[in-house]
Amino acid sequence: MTTEVRTATIIGAGTIGLGWTTLFLARGLRVRVNSRRADADRVVRDGIALFAPTIPGGGADPAELVTRLEIEPDLKRALDGTDVVQENAPENLEIKRELFGRVAAAAPEHALLLSSTSSLPPEAIGADLPDPGRVLVGHPFNPAHLIPLVEVVAAEGADPALVERAADFYRWLGKTPIVPARAVPGFVANRLQSALLRESIHLVREGVVTVEQLDAVVVHSIGLRWSTVGPFQAFHLGGGQGGLRHWLNHLGAGLEQGWRGLGQPSMDEATVQKLVTQADEAFAGRTYEQLVAERDARQTAVLRALAELTPERPEQGERGRNAT
Amino acid sequence: MTTEVRTATIIGAGTIGLGWTTLFLARGLRVRVNSRRADADRVVRDGIALFAPTIPGGGADPAELVTRLEIEPDLKRALDGTDVVQENAPENLEIKRELFGRVAAAAPEHALLLSSTSSLPPEAIGADLPDPGRVLVGHPFNPAHLIPLVEVVAAEGADPALVERAADFYRWLGKTPIVPARAVPGFVANRLQSALLRESIHLVREGVVTVEQLDAVVVHSIGLRWSTVGPFQAFHLGGGQGGLRHWLNHLGAGLEQGWRGLGQPSMDEATVQKLVTQADEAFAGRTYEQLVAERDARQTAVLRALAELTPERPEQGERGRNAT
């Protein structure tokens, strides 16, 4: 099945919705943002102005983008003739399930129905549909217009061709879709993040390092490494010519022993208090806006440097002409 | 106490020793490499030629570097008049303890005694010295000339002024030293790495993702994020104006619940086999040398991009004139 994607519907005008909106527009789509906020028009235009300069591939012109933008508070009208729906409602199963019941009833049959949920299983979100497998998770990372990963998660029994269409669409956007074999709580990236955070909190709780030191350790070692190669490739190369096999034979037993010594912190009041106090100290003297600007400057610099090594931008001529 | 560091002794000519050698030379030091390998001269010159082009701050000229290089198979002569010893012997407590007993007896009293160990506690390495606290861990990350972090770990009761001198020396080299309050097994970065690897292996073992997909998830999301900001700053900003306090109040309970669902894989034969088979598939078609070159190109690009944002290079005039 081949369909051109020309029109997209974004549900919700929060941070994630605005990231998607800006990226979709920058790739040449017509975008309808469905939001009932009284100030939706201003919020969406502000979001586009904020995100457009850092759209991967050299940025985009907000004034050009908004020529293809519509704000549509009525869901049915927002879905009329749409090719893709990307939903970013609050992270609440009742809300999303009810919403997708209405979306499926009103959207064209060929439209991709995608949810940005970071935690809800697709079969639960699609429970009110005749075919619950029609709703797919398309979970981005914040900032959604910038970070390449999209976790595409399907319900058991979902049509593999549908999943492939969704992955193709995200690739066409310039994203890196990954399709896990099944949904597990937290999907993949957030589970990994949570595992690292657990040990981070343990080490601060035990007084081995401060919040500020822990962050510095990550940024100046393993973060750099993992922006370059994943953990398995890192150890595959760490094993020299013998690869991961050599590395695991050499260190596998020690690995399991090391895991037994990792922390299992409790998030009790004293722990929360310690983390918060140290965070306040670590970030004192810089406003939230300054910290965000620093982060985004670094993030953009890293992404640009990597993109220059491996150019994967969609060609202008491909805009609006992707096969899905 | 103020001493100029002019002469350094590197013990061991493996990968880590060669990384340190190249960096020390590039910062203007005279370097004596102590190795009893018959081919030490060739190995060290090859290592310098390999690492010099990617020395942070624009690379270095190998021909210039080797003008300050000596290969000295005799430990006593290698230590004569030295200011800093950086040891990179095999990761074996007997070897390092015996070695530092001899080093302390022969090195000048003012010399910093530093071990690159990734796992041995400093008090055990220094056990044969009159003052066991004199040996400090200075644990780098591979490649040692490139990755900024150095974990500086001292025995309980070590002289804080000595620890500060070691940290100052690494800062002068252009490194980012972090001094944990005490030694814990694996120090800090490798514990975090191990925690992420455990969940990675769990997800592959359970068939949720393949080795290749897991690596892609990390590289295209959390790796990018952590090359930019540490986990605490990421969530501090994720909490908006309310910071980490807001984020933890909002998600702290769910965090602990999520940790209970993380994997505790066993490294049994079937698991090792699955990881190795998938790694062989993932990296098939590229040689070890190609994979290393790809990694280093990406690593260098990321480091360069970040360095351009926050220039922290030592001035030429400072070379060999650091206060320690």
Mean per-residue pLDDT over chain A, rounded = 92
A248 to chain B: nearest residue by CA?
B272
Q: How far away is chain A from the Cα of B154, in angstroms, using its nearest Cα?
A: 12
For A65-111, strand residue ranges (E) read 69-71, 84-87
Q: How confident is the model at residue B4 (pLDDT cuts 50, 70, 90)?
A: confident
Instruction: Output the pLDDT for position B251.
Output: 78
B203 to chain A: nearest residue by CA?
A188
Instruction: Output the pLDDT for position B292.
Output: 86
CB–CB contact A148 B295 (8 Å): no
Q: How far away is chain B from the Cα of A15, in angstroms, using its nearest Cα?
A: 11
Residue B310 has pLDDT above 70, yes or no: no
pLDDT by residue (tens digit) across B216-262?
A: 999 999 999 999 999 999 999 888 888 899 889 887 778 999 999 99
Closest Cβ–Cβ partner in B189, B272, B295 for A229: B295
Mean pLDDT, rounded, for B76-82: 98
Closest Cβ–Cβ partner in B178, B225, B231 for A197: B231
* Sequence letter at residue A107: A
Gap between the Cα atoms of A124 and A104, Å rounded: 14
- Specify whether the CB–CB gap between A309 and B266 falls below 8 A: no
For chain B, the residue count is: 324
Of residues B250 and B55, the one with the higher pLDDT is B55
Q: DSSP for B146-206?
A: T--EEEEE--TT--HHHHHHHHHHHHHHT-EEE--SS--TTTTHHHHHHHHHHHHHHHHHT
- In B, which residues are within 8 Å of A186 by CB distance? 258, 261
Instruction: Output the pLDDT for position B3.
Output: 56
- In B, which residues are within 8 Å of A221 by CB distance? 141, 147-149, 189
Residue A266 has pLDDT above 90, yes or no: yes
Instruction: Output the pLDDT for position A324.
Output: 39
Closest Cβ–Cβ partner in A237, A262, A272 for B195: A262
Instruction: Output the pLDDT for position B315.
Output: 40
Residue A313 has pLDDT above 50, yes or no: no
Phi, psi (rounded to 5 degrees) for A199:
-70, -35
- In A, which residues are within 8 Å of B238 by CB distance? 142
Q: How far away is chain A from the Cα of B37, in angstroms, using its nearest Cα?
A: 20
Q: DSSP secondary-structure letter at A219?
A: I
Q: How confident is the model at residue B302 (pLDDT cuts 50, 70, 90)?
A: very high
Instruction: Output the pLDDT for position B317.
Output: 37
Mean pLDDT, rounded, for A87-116: 97
Q: How far away is chain A from the Cα of B81, in angstroms, using its nearest Cα?
A: 33
Gap between the Cα atoms of A47 and A37, Å rounded: 14
Residue A241 has pLDDT above 90, yes or no: no
Domain B7-187 CATH class label = alpha beta
Name every residue whose Cβ is closer than 8 Å to that of residue A22 and which is 6 or more positions away in sequence: A47, A48, A51, A52, A55, A60, A65, A145
B289 to chain A: nearest residue by CA?
A241
Residue A320 has pLDDT above 70, yes or no: no
Residue A227 has pLDDT above 60, yes or no: yes
Instruction: Output the pLDDT for position B239.
Output: 82
Instruction: Output the pLDDT for position B47.
Output: 94
Instruction: Output the pLDDT for position A3.
Output: 56
Closest Cβ–Cβ partner in A188, A233, A295 for B217: A188
- Specify whether the CB–CB gap between A134 and A104 falls below 8 A: yes
> For residue A66, what are the CA distances in angstroms to A18, A323, B178?
12, 24, 47
Closest Cβ–Cβ partner in B212, B244, B304 for A276: B244
User: Picking from A221-230, A285-294, B213-222, which range would have the lowest pLDDT averaged per residue?
Assistant: A285-294
Instruction: Output the pLDDT for position B112.
Output: 98
Q: How confident is the model at residue A314 (pLDDT cuts 50, 70, 90)?
A: very low
Mean pLDDT, rounded, for A150-179: 97
Q: What is the dihedral of CA A51, A52, A54, A59, to 10 degrees?
A: 170
CB–CB contact B232 A194 (8 Å): no
Q: List, by residue range, all CATH 1.10.1040.10 domains of chain A.
A: 189-284
Gap between the Cα atoms of A84 and A93, Å rounded: 21
Nearest to B19 by CA among B51, B67, B44: B51
- In B, which residues are within 8 Å of A209 by CB distance? 178, 180-181, 188
Instruction: Output the pLDDT for position B1.
Output: 35
A305 to chain B: nearest residue by CA?
B301
- In B, which residues are within 8 Å of A230 by CB distance? 214-219, 223
Residue A312 has pLDDT above 60, yes or no: no
CATH architecture of A189-284: Orthogonal Bundle (1.10)
User: Picking from A118-132, A154-168, A308-322, which range would have the lowest pLDDT averaged per residue?
Assistant: A308-322
pLDDT by residue (tens digit) across B138-186?
A: 999 988 999 999 999 999 999 999 999 999 999 999 999 999 999 999 9
Residue A21 has pLDDT above 60, yes or no: yes
Instruction: Output the pLDDT for position B162.
Output: 97
Which percentage of chain A shows pLDDT scores above 70? 94
Instruction: Output the pLDDT for position A310.
Output: 67
A187 to chain B: nearest residue by CA?
B208
Which percentage of chain B shows pLDDT scores above 70? 94
CB–CB contact B223 A200 (8 Å): no
CB–CB contact A227 B232 (8 Å): no
Gap between the Cα atoms of B194 and B178, Å rounded: 19
Residue B101 has pLDDT above 80, yes or no: yes
Angle (deg, nearest 10), helices B40-51 and B15-26: 60
Closest Cβ–Cβ partner in B196, B282, B305 for A192: B196
Instruction: Output the pLDDT for position A239.
Output: 81
- Specify whether the CB–CB gap between A220 and B199 falls below 8 A: no
CATH fold, domain A7-185, is Rossmann fold (3.40.50)
Instruction: Output the pLDDT for position A323.
Output: 38
CB–CB contact A231 B200 (8 Å): yes
Residue B118 has pLDDT above 70, yes or no: yes
CB atoms within 10 A of CB A15: 17
Residue B59 has pLDDT above 60, yes or no: yes
Residue B316 has pLDDT above 80, yes or no: no
Q: List, by residue range, all CATH 3.40.50.720 domains of chain B.
A: 7-187
Mean pLDDT, rounded, for A219-243: 92
Gap between the Cα atoms of A174 and A172, Å rounded: 5
Q: How far away is chain A from the Cα of B106, in angstroms, using its nearest Cα?
A: 33
Q: DSSP secondary-structure letter at A144?
A: T
For chain A, the residue count is: 324
Instruction: Output the pLDDT for position B312.
Output: 44
Gap between the Cα atoms of B72 and B172, Å rounded: 25
Instruction: Output the pLDDT for position B321.
Output: 38
CB–CB contact B207 A292 (8 Å): no
CB–CB contact A302 B302 (8 Å): yes
Q: List, by residue range, all CATH 3.40.50.720 domains of chain A.
A: 7-185
CB–CB contact A283 B185 (8 Å): no
pLDDT by residue (tens digit) across B18-37?
A: 999 999 999 999 999 999 89
Of residues B252 and B273, the one with the higher pLDDT is B273
pLDDT by residue (tens digit) across A129-149?
A: 999 999 999 999 988 999 999
The three-class DSSP label of residue B308 is helix
Q: DSSP secondary-structure letter at B118?
A: S
- In A, which residues are within 8 Å of B301 by CB distance? 305-306, 308-309
Mean per-residue pLDDT over chain B, rounded = 92
